[in-house]
């Protein structure tokens, strides 16, 4: 009985070790130097977007059969940037869906000056954001592009599917808290992917009247100023 017990423990330990190795291989971290080279020193020519907590660059690097990826570099001098980084990591590792932007890996290191550096690496979306398609005049250096009715309906269905997955697809409901056209990205086939989970909130307890009132009083409304989407708080 003792020998069988020892054999069982060794077998389980070997399985756990293999699973940890495979997890590391699947989400292998990249270094600051790799990202620096892939973005030409985070050149403005590769800048594809800016937000409240950082900037997104196009990077030429081979990762998971992709030649180009998107690198979101956090501005850690901005208040709340580190919390945004942790929220996005927690949200995107908790749930997977075809209409959610896929995170490939992350970078937590020091830059060339010895300052803390944190970045997230995502799938690159060649057709940009929905904002650029709906409001082309507001986006500088963008050629005029329009969406037909079928494309608009498909994008609406994609976004609804992503929200349904966030709210009901996991063990803990996730509220995006900043759903807007600039956070809806389009791939080669114009499939919509919801991204930017820096303000995401986990509803770890079923909401009741008292907790909802407390949340309203202490947390307030999250999201972009001047834009509060229906159904998101």
**Which residue is catalytic, options 40, 67, 178, 208?**
178
Nearest to 126 by CA among 60, 45, 69: 69
Burial of 166 (C-beta count, 10 Å sphere; 0-12/13-18/19+): buried
DSSP string across 188-230: TT--EEE---TT-EE--S---HHHHHHHHHHT---SBTTB--T
233/14 Cα distance (integer angstroms):
45
Nearest to 166 by CA among 191, 207, 140, 203: 203
Q: Is 116 a catalytic residue?
A: no
Ligand-binding annotation for 72, yes or no, is yes
Name every residue whose Cβ is closer than 8 Å to that of residue 70 and which is 6 or more positions away in sequence.
Answer: 48, 56, 57, 58, 59, 121, 122, 123, 124, 125
Which residues are catalytically annotated? 178
List, as residue ranges, the binding site for ATP.
72
List, as residue ranges, the binding site.
72
């Amino acid at each position: 009985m003792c020998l069988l017990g020892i054999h069982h423990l060794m077998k389980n330990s070997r399985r756990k070790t293999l699973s940890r190795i495979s997890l590391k291989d699947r989400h292998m971290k990249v270094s600051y130097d790799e990202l620096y080279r892939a973005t030409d020193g985070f050149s403005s020519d590769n800048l594809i977007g800016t937000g409240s907590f950082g900037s997104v660059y196009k990077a030429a690097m081979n990762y998971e059969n992709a030649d180009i990826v998107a690198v979101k570099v956090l501005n850690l001098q901005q208040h709340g940037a580190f919390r945004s980084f942790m929220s996005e990591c927690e949200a995107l590792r908790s749930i997977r869906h075809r209409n959610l932007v896929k995170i490939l890996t992350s970078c937590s290191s020091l830059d060339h000056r010895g300052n803390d550096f944190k970045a997230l690496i995502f799938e690159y979306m060649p057709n940009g954001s929905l904002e650029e398609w709906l409001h082309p005049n507001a986006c500088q250096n963008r050629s005029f592009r329009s969406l037909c009715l079928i494309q608009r309906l498909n994008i609406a269905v994609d976004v609804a599917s992503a929200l349904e997955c966030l709210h009901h697809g996991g063990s803990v409901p996730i509220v995006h808290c900043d759903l807007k056209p600039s956070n809806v990205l389009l791939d080669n086939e114009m499939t919509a992917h919801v991204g930017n989970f820096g303000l995401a909130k986990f509803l770890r307890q079923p909401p009741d009247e008292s907790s909802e009132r407390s949340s309203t009083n202490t947390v307030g409304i999250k999201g972009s100023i001047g834009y509060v989407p229906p159904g998101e708080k």
